[in-house]
Structures are given as C-alpha cells and as structure tokens.
A and B are shown apart, each in its own frame.
Chain A
Amino acid sequence: MALGLDPIFLTRAAYATTRGLGPANSRKTLVCIFQRGAVDGLNMVVPHGDPFYYRERPRIAIPRPGATGGAIDLDGHFGLHPSLQALAPLYRDGSLAIVHAVGSPDHTRSHFDAQDYMESGTPGIKSTPDGWLNRVLQTQHALEHRETPFRGVALGQELPRSLRGAAPALAIDKLQAFGLRAPEPARDRLTAAFEELYQGSATGLVASSSAEAFEAVRMLKSVNPGQYEPANGAEYPRGPLANSLRQIAQLIKADVGVEIAFADVGGWDTHVNQGASDGQLAQHLAEFGQALAAFSRDLGERMSDVVVLTMSEFGRTVAENGNVGTDHGHATAMFVLGGGVRGGKVYGAWPTLDPAKRFDGRDLAVTTDFRDLFAEVLTGHLGTADLGAVFPGHAQPAPVGVLRAS
C-alpha cells in the first residue's frame, strides 16, 4: 500500500500501547451521515407492498420490483430505489439494516428546527447548548480512548451542531490541505510560531480550537494523506459525500483515534421535479449508495469495528405535490451498516400509508423515535453507558433490534 509503512506502523505501535489497557471496543468508530434537506424515505426505501404508495404518487412512484426501473425487492414489502443498487449486496450479506418510519417526536416541518433537534438530540428543546455526538465524547470513559484531536472529526468546513460542545472535535475540509502551507522547514517553524501565539494570547473557544489544530497537524503529518489508495479495489464515485467517506476511511485505517466521524450531504429537499427511477433524487441516491458501498469495501475487515448510521431531519409528504415533487413530511428511513449490525432486515413497525394512519392525515407517521435508534447504536457499538447524559429525558430508550447488544 502506498500509505507508507513507517509512519503508520509507528502510530499504530504507539497507539497500541495505550489501547492495550482499554476494553475490547476501544477502537470502534461510529460514522454518522446526515442527509440534509429531508430525504424522501418513501422513494429511498420503497414500500411497494403498500397500495396507498402508488395511489398517492402517480408521477414519482418507483415501479414495483420486476418492472422497468422498478425497486430492488428486499422482503416482499419494501424495496430499494434502483439507484441504490450498490447497497443491495450489503443488505443481502447481512451487514446493512434499514429502519423505516423513523423520525422525531417533534412535529416541526422546518428544516432548521428539525435538524437542530436531531443534532442536539433533544426534540422540542432549542436551548440545548451541545450536540448529541459531542455529549457522547464527553461521557465516554476517558481510559477507553486515547485523547487525540481526531476522536470527533467532521469532514467539511464547519463543525456540525451534532459535534459542537465542550469535548474537542475537529472539522477538516481536506486532509491534504490541513495545516500551514509553506515549504519545509519553514513550515514547521511557522506552525510553532502560530502555536505559541495562540497558546499565550487566545482564550476560550479560540484557544481550545487552536490547540486541537496544532495537535492534529502533528498527527496528520505522520499519516501522509496525499498518498492514499483505497483498498480491495474500492472505487469511490465523484461527489462530496464520497470525498468525505474516502477521507474518513483513511483516518480510520491510520489509527489516529477516530471514535466519531461525521459527514453531511445535501440536495434532498426535492420540492420540484424530484423524478422517479431517474431524475434528481435518483442521481443523489446513486452517489449516496455507491459512496457507502465503496467505503465498506475500502475498509474491508476493518468494517467489523465500524458502524455507519445515516439520518435526515424528516421525511416527505406521502402524496406528490403539484410540482412533481414532495413537501416537508414526517418520518423517513435510515440505514445502519457495519460490524455488529443485524442486517438484511427492515426494522420498525410499519404504520401503513393509509390516510387514517398518517401523521396529520398526510405524512408517514413516526413509529421509531430516532433517539431509540441512535441510543442502540451507541450502547451496542461504542459501549456508551450513560444514555441519560446523551439524550436527557430519554434515558430508557426502546429497543429497535438492529444491533447486537454489547
């Protein structure tokens, strides 16, 4: 592999000494993907067995399995959007689970509020100062993970609400461009100068963020991200999500101590001309599915230490709107992929699309509180003990069943 043996070997060796003391799950990583804009769960994971689905979506429904452009059947009732072809093998080999009709107990149809609630982990409460993933970092036992600046990493320019809070977390746009740009050895000297400047003169958030920055620069230097080649013939598609996942894979393999990684991907707010088997949503789903599949293949056996959890702030209306699109709805579908996942199944009670069973008479009702799913992933995968601290007021989540309990 082109990663360069020495630095990785050294980092690993250094890390192993600390990790040896921790419990077995200490190198587990949770990767969260936020589909911003409210993905249409009903066309992503198609309830082709529900008669109301075709009745309400004459122009945008995904045809039944077997028909041209039809859904990829999963269990006789649900099917994947044909653009998610890349995910079908993962579902069949049992590493991919789906939860349908999942969402927030809060009724808002505002993107802003719903994202805020999902990321703070406290539906209906605006004043929560930190994000749920940050609280995971705050509560995880200190011995389990080496304190590295990469414990919580977001790929992108900004730290998402989920990762903001008292525990340090890092936003990285591009691994390669991370750090000061100057030829060596000027680079090291300049980095040291800025470090001293900020150590002595900055306060509060600026001080802690800058300290993390310099620590991260040191660690990344030994990883040599410019030389990365995905393993096992994995081919990432073009696009922002794939770029993020490729870099997350790189960090995980480099053993720099990533416990939580976060990436987001937009373009799901399909009010107009969302398309059916082809079109706008289909294109986005194709990148989404191919990126996830490439990530899984790239990590290979290491996937047994990784769980990928996808989420979106809400779903979309059951009925198509006047613009061959869908408006803001309620429940949606989420994917859980990776080690310890009891895949090959669509979880969650199906409320049906019967108008009488819909939320407000129009949207897919929520039968699984997103916090129940998130909590199960935390306990089952990361071994998080104090769920009450992560989801205040929701310390006793209902079991969903997607993960083997640890």
Chain B
Amino acid sequence: MAVLGKLTLGAALLVLASPPDPLSTAGWRLASPPGPLSTAAWRGGTRRADSLERARALHVLNRLTYGPRPGDVDGVLAMGVDRFIEQQLHPETINDDALRPWLQRYEVLHMSPQELANVFLQEQLQRRARQAGAGQLVPPLRHAAVRGRRMSRARRLAGELQQAAVVRAALSQRQLDEVMVDFWTNHFNVFLGKGADRFLLPDFIEHTIRPHAMGTFGDLLIATAESPAMLFYLDNAESVASGSTPPQLAQLNQRLERARMGGRPRFGRRADPARMDSLRRRIEQRLPRGINENYGRELMELHTLGVNGGYTQQDVINVARILTGWSITPPRQGGGFVFRAWAHDRGAKVVLGHEFPAGHEMDEGIALLKLLAMHPATRRHVSSELCAKFVADDPPEGCVDAAVAAWQHTGGDMREVLGAIFRSPEFWASENANNKFKTPLEFVVSAVRAVGATPDSTLALAQIVGRLGEPLYLDQPPTGYPESQASWVNSGALLQRFNVAMGLAAGRAPGVTVNVEGLIPEGTDPGGLAEAVDRAILHGAASANTLRVIREETADLGPRQARVTAVGLALGSPEFQRQ
C-alpha cells in the first residue's frame, strides 16, 4: 500500500525501486545500474532522484557513522554520497582538530604505560593493606564503576577510557574510523577487569587498535599478538616451554649448590642454605611451568580462522609452542612486551600442515601470524563479521564474496575490503536498510548526535552505555560484544532504552547538555510537533502509529513539556532503535 504525500525512507525505497508487480518484493534494490555507488544515472534532478539520494545519504550515515546529527544528511548530499564514503575511508584526510580539546580532558590518554602501571601498583598496595586490615573483598570493577562513591584514581582512569570512546564516537569527524575501532576492539576483545589489563588496556586501544583500524589486517594481528594487554588477557605471557628454567632460578640453584658444598660466596654475606632453599621453592611455585593454550586457541578460533577454520587440537598446542617466550615485563618495569628466549620451545613445529623449523625464536611467531592473516579461512571469517556489522546480521553471501575478493587482491587492506562492501549491491539492497538493531553504544551515541547534544566533563555517558548492557572493555569472554539483534533485544533492555530516551530529551540525563529548543524551535505549532520530530530525528521514518501516539501524548501538555515528550518518544521509538 503506497503512502502518498508522505515520503518516509521506507516508502521512498519502495516507491523508487519497486518493480511493476507489487507482489514480487524480492530483489528490490535501492540503487539501479550502471553501478550501485554511481549517482550519474540519477542526476538530472527529478524529485524521485532527489529523495533516492537522500535515502542513500541517510543509509550511509546510519552505517558508516554513529548516526546523523542535525544537518548531516544535507551535508552528505552537498558533498555527494560517493565522495563522503571515499573521505571516510581515508580518515587521515579529515580534519579532526575540534576533537582535541575534548581528549585533552582525559588524563588516561596522555599517560605513559609506566605511569599507568605505577597508579595501579600503588593502589594495589593500598588495597592489600586495607584487605589485610578488614579482611574484605574488593568489589569487582563492573559493579563498583557505576556506584556514586568517590572513585579511586585507577577507576577514574578506566572510566575516562570508556568515556573517551563514547565522546570520540559522538564528536569525531572520522566516524568510520571510530566505527572500525569499536569493531576491532570487540574482535580482539580484552577484558579491562583482569589484573594487569587494568593498566595495559589504554595502550592497547590507543596504540594497538587505533593506528591499524583502517590499515592492513596482518599488521593489526601482529600488533595485537605483541600487545601486553592481549598477552596478559589470554595468558600467553605465562606460557613457557615445558622444562625451561628462567636464568634467575638457574643462578639461584647454582648458588644453592655452592652453599651446600660449603664454599664461600664470592661476595656478600654467607648465604643460609635453608633460607635459600625456601626462597627457591617459593619462586618455583610462582613460576610458569609449561605451555598455556588459551591464546593459541582464541587466536585461531576468534581472531583469524574462525571456529570451523580447519585447525586441530594439535595445531592449538603447536601455536602455543611457537609463541612461547612472547611475554611482558613486570609492572615495575612498565609491563612492556619482551621476548624471553629461555622460555621459547626450541623444537620444530607444524601448524595447519606448514613446517616451522626449530631455532627461529620470535621469527617463528611472526611467520605464523602472517600465515594466519593470509589464510583463506581468515579472509572469509573476518569478512563475514564485517558484513554482519555493515550490512545485515546474517551476512549476505554476495557481500562476503566481494569483501573476500578485495582482501585477496590487496593483502587485507581494510580500506579496500570496506570499499568493496560499500560497493556491493547487498549493502544498498532495500531490505538491508534500517534492518540493524543498534547496540547500546550505537543507541546512546546516535541519540546524543540526533539531538545535537554536547557531552559534559563527567564520565556519565559511558556509564549509561554500561547500564544498557555494554560496559565498554568489560566483556569478560574473548568473544567481545555481539553485533546481532537477538543479543540486544530483550524486554529489560528495551525499558532501559526508554528511560535513556526520556532522560536525554528532558535534559535529565547526566553527562550531556541537550538543547531541545535548538532542535525543535520554541514556536513550533503544537499540532505539527510529531512531524517536526519525525523530520529532525527519524528522518521521515516514523510510522503512522508513531506519529499518532506522539500527537496524542503531547496534545494536552504545555509547550516545553510537549517538546520534551515528543523528542523522548521519538528517541525511544522502535524506528530509532534501528539503523
């Protein structure tokens, strides 16, 4: 049924692309030949072409960015949709200076790994002292972070890191870059709440993920493998060849031996053999003694090949053997990457049928990571994930094939892979417009952007994202937060979204300043309020029912309350939960 006189996005897609037979809906395409991204065919300025171009601009803003701000659709139209995509694929060409003063606020982004480590070491000591005194357990990070109590410095730094991600998503001009940072952050998930990762994670996000977000997959993979945060999170830092002995222990053993023989130490006090022996046993107990498969398994299952990628348990073991020695220095020395030759397995290994001859130390690991990065199973696995992120939860084959082909031609250059996805017919298919349910991060940031709100100096926005179910960097399993609708739609979470929507509209939400008057001018005719929020926030996507409910709910309210309610209902509407 055609809705005449009101061109919603959905209607525009249908009207513009519908074949003569209204019953055959399969294969309706938003774009027509000659090329999905080419607008040439539509230039010449019919109204239909204009609204198609609007719909394309909106779709691109929904997927490549955290949602349109007031005026963004016109901005993209003025620039041209294709040029906008091209520009977003090259973030280094986009001036983002306006973001700098915001990021200046976050101490955590400007501290060295050693400085961060020191904060945590200090608080650990204080906590131990307190615990010893009170015999009390410290509440886990996830639960403590939302409490109103005065935060410790370490907690504040963690909160800053979360808030910086939300503020960047809301304010950066390099939107696609931010979307990709979030994608890789979950693909290479590290749990901020695990021990040393409390101070290792900022460096991981800033210097491992961010520089490679739009780079080559292989470089990113190697960077994550060498990152202290990942080495600690998935326990590779503790993985040593079985039977290997660290030099310190070997020395101690020698000294102990000499002491037993009654020889005099070359210098210093004469050692007491009993004390040295108990020292040796204490050290030995805390020392790693064999390989740890955890990283090896997740490296293949989650980061590269995928769970059906054709590897065996023996491959997992051999990957772990190859990566023995990849470790980190103690926090006192900054917790940086170190290759410990003594811990490295010196045997020959075979992974996925490829031989890794003995004795090549760290180079074996690099060769392995390159092998995994270029493996066909990796291309397909990661391409599918990208298509699930940008096209549809159930990634269409055609789009995955296009991404895989671009990956193959360019050796995994993410700009090219993403470009291929954005050029694929599936990306533009009308059934894939507005079909993705927003994650909590996407919902909060898109709402902030939609109403043109400005974050304040608190860490509250990130806490709202957390309350909606996605506390950033706090997903414990290595899978990272999911992308699919089924993972995020449930009754409890929907109610929370309504609360956030109403809070934002009323200016009650902590963490942002909202200027509803700027969005819906004060003089707006109360009868036209529903249409006004539809234009400003939903970009014409509001259903007749949504318009009716907003109209009825605001009819008997005073002007300000009516505006607030209309904006709140729009942000909480089913239409706004999708992108």
Write the residues of chain A forming the contact surface with B, with a CB cutoff of 8 angstroms: 36-37, 59, 109-113, 126, 149, 157-159, 164, 169-173, 178-182, 189-190, 193-194, 196-203, 205-207, 209-210, 212-213, 216-217, 238, 240, 266, 271-273, 283, 321-324, 327-328, 360
Contacts and interface: CB of A to CB of B under 8 A. Distances in A.
Nearest to A110: B301
Main secondary structure of the interface of B (DSSP, over half): helix
A209 B494 contact: yes
B291 interface: yes
Interface residues of B, number: 60
A158 B477 contact: no
Contacts of A283: 137
Contacts of B498: 180, 190, 194
B490 A170 contact: yes
A158 B574 contact: no
A180 B491 contact: no
B286 interface: yes
Contact of B499 (A109, A180, A193): A180
A200 B549 contact: yes
Contacts of B490: 158-159, 169-171, 209
B543 interface: yes
A194 B239 CA distance: 53
In the A-B complex, list the 9 residue pairs whose CB atoms are closest, starting with the nearest.
A322-B289, A200-B545, A213-B491, A322-B290, A157-B469, A202-B574, A171-B490, A322-B288, A201-B543
Given A238-B139, A323-B235, A180 B495 contact: yes
Given A170-B492, A182-B502, A193-B553, 19 more contacts: A110-B297, A112-B307, A158-B487, A158-B490, A158-B493, A180-B502, A181-B499, A194-B569, A194-B572, A196-B549, A197-B573, A201-B545, A201-B573, A209-B489, A216-B491, A238-B139, A271-B235, A272-B235, A324-B285
A179 B497 CA distance: 10
21 contacts: A36-B477, A109-B297, A112-B302, A112-B478, A157-B492, A158-B490, A171-B491, A180-B498, A197-B549, A198-B574, A200-B549, A206-B494, A212-B491, A240-B143, A271-B235, A271-B238, A322-B239, A322-B240, A322-B291, A327-B292, A328-B294
A238 B137 contact: yes
Contacts of A109: 293, 297, 313, 316
B108 to A, nearest CB: 25
B96 to A, nearest CB: 33
Contacts of A271: 235, 238, 292, 294
Contacts of B199: none
B65 interface: no
Interface string B130-165: 000000010110010000000000000000000000
A216 B490 CA distance: 12
Interface in B470-508: 476-479, 485-495, 498-499, 502-503
A197 B572 contact: yes
A59 B491 contact: no
A179 B502 CA distance: 13
A275 to B, nearest CB: 12
Given A164-B486, A194-B569, A323-B235, A112 B492 contact: no
B87 interface: no
B499 A327 contact: no
Contacts of B503: 181
Q: Which of A209, A216, A323 has the most CB of B within 10 A?
A: A323
Interface of B: 137, 139-140, 143, 235, 238-240, 242, 285-294, 297, 301-302, 307, 313, 316, 437, 468-469, 476-479, 485-495, 498-499, 502-503, 543, 545-546, 548-549, 553, 565, 569, 572-575, 577
A327 B574 contact: no
B492 A171 contact: yes
A112 B3 CA distance: 46
B491 A197 contact: no
A202 B572 CA distance: 11
A323 B289 contact: yes
Contacts of B301: 110, 112-113
Question: Looking at A158, A169, A203, A271, which has the most chain B CB atoms within 10 Å of its CB?
Answer: A158
A10 B486 CA distance: 35
A321 B574 contact: no
- Among A126, A157, A179, A283, find the residue whose CB has the most chain B CB atoms closer than 10 A: A157
A164 B485 CA distance: 12
Contacts of B289: 321-323
Contact of A205 (B238, B479, B489): B489
Given A193-B553, A194-B569, A210-B494, A322 B292 contact: yes
Given A170-B490, A171-B493, A201-B574, A323 B437 contact: no
B545 A197 contact: yes
B549 A213 contact: no
A8 B502 CA distance: 31
